[in-house]
Amino acid sequence: MKTERITSRKNPAVAEATKLSDRRFREERREFFIEGIKLFCEAVGAGAQIKRVFVTDAALEKYGDMIERSGCGSVYCVTDEVYEKLTVERAPQGIFAVVGYFDAQKPADENAFLLVLDGVADPGNLGTIIRCADAFGCGRVLIGDNGVDLYNPKTVRAAMGSLFRVRTERRAAAESVRMLEDDGYAVYAATLDKNSRDLREVDVSGKVAFVIGNEGHGVSEDVAAACGGSVIIPMTPGAESLNAAVAASVIMWEAARVRINKWER
């Protein structure tokens, strides 16, 4: 495996990689970054395009075989001081990779439930939702164009590799709702409303999708109006709401529960 040595924190390749913390730059280049051997292995296993790898001497000795198997043609061996400029981790493992935007190729399942996100703004919440979508068999996560970026470093980290397995799409949430309804889905907004039904009373066994709203404002009025109904999660008296990621996870579990007998154990 051919490597190039970098000893300066001002090296152009390093400077460019650090710019990927900025959403505008990510979207312009259609690239994002991952850190750590777990995410690196997930990306390689999913067939993601590994464009550049920055690795410390110690990490190269430890993970060299995996880096070579990735097929990446641009591997930079960097000093610890240079790696400190790249890393966003508290306990870095010494492997940082630039990856091309990725579309998970999970086979479509006509019986899978879907999730629509309307203005979810916290990157940790988005990452957690994607991780739970992976665990509970959600067919697709349709991310509203008014929310946080899928490739935000905190989102990528919180998703814990599920980013490479869960199918995602990005468009206006109201457009996603209309598209799903045209395709025969029953779409429910997760919102407190006088007409909202208890989640347990809704048939979630067929073509169904749920909308999760913004952490502070919930589902927007136009998106809620486009939905065929709304649901609430039953809670103890006095409790007003749940964190967006927690609410999404509870709803996904309820939808998964009726499908669980189809899962391999």
- What's the pLDDT score for residue 262? 59
For the record, the structure tokens of 237 come out as: 């008296």
- What's the pLDDT score for residue 108? 67
**Contact assessment for residue 181 and residue 154, using Cβ atoms and an 8 Å cutoff:** no
Alpha-carbon gap, residue 210 to 93, rounded angstroms:
38
> How many alpha carbons fall within 13 Å on the CB side of residue 255?
28
Specify the residue for token string 């890393």.
Answer: 87
- The mean predicted confidence, pLDDT, of the chain is 93
The pTM of this model reads 0.93
- What's the pLDDT score for residue 263? 57
Alpha-carbon gap, residue 31 to 65, rounded angstroms:
24
Q: What is the pLDDT of residues 103-147, one digit of tens each?
A: 887 766 777 899 999 999 999 999 999 999 999 999 999 999 999
Mean pLDDT of all residues in 11-36: 97
Q: What is the pLDDT of residues 206-258, one digit of tens each?
A: 899 999 999 989 999 999 999 999 999 998 988 877 899 999 999 999 999 98
What residue ranges define each of the domains in the chain, with the CATH number in brackets?
Answer: 4-100 (3.30.1330.30), 114-262 (3.40.1280.10)
**Backbone torsion region of residue 71, taken as left when φ is above 0, otherwise alpha when ψ lies between -120 and 50, otherwise beta:** left
* Residue 265 pLDDT greater than 70, yes or no: no
Q: What is the pLDDT of residues 166-177, one digit of tens each?
A: 999 999 999 999
Alpha-carbon gap, residue 1 to 160, rounded angstroms:
28
Question: If you count them, how many residues does the chain have?
Answer: 265
Q: What is the pLDDT of residues 60-95, one digit of tens each?
A: 999 999 999 999 989 999 999 999 999 999 899 999
Neighbour count for residue 146 (Cβ, 10 Å): 15
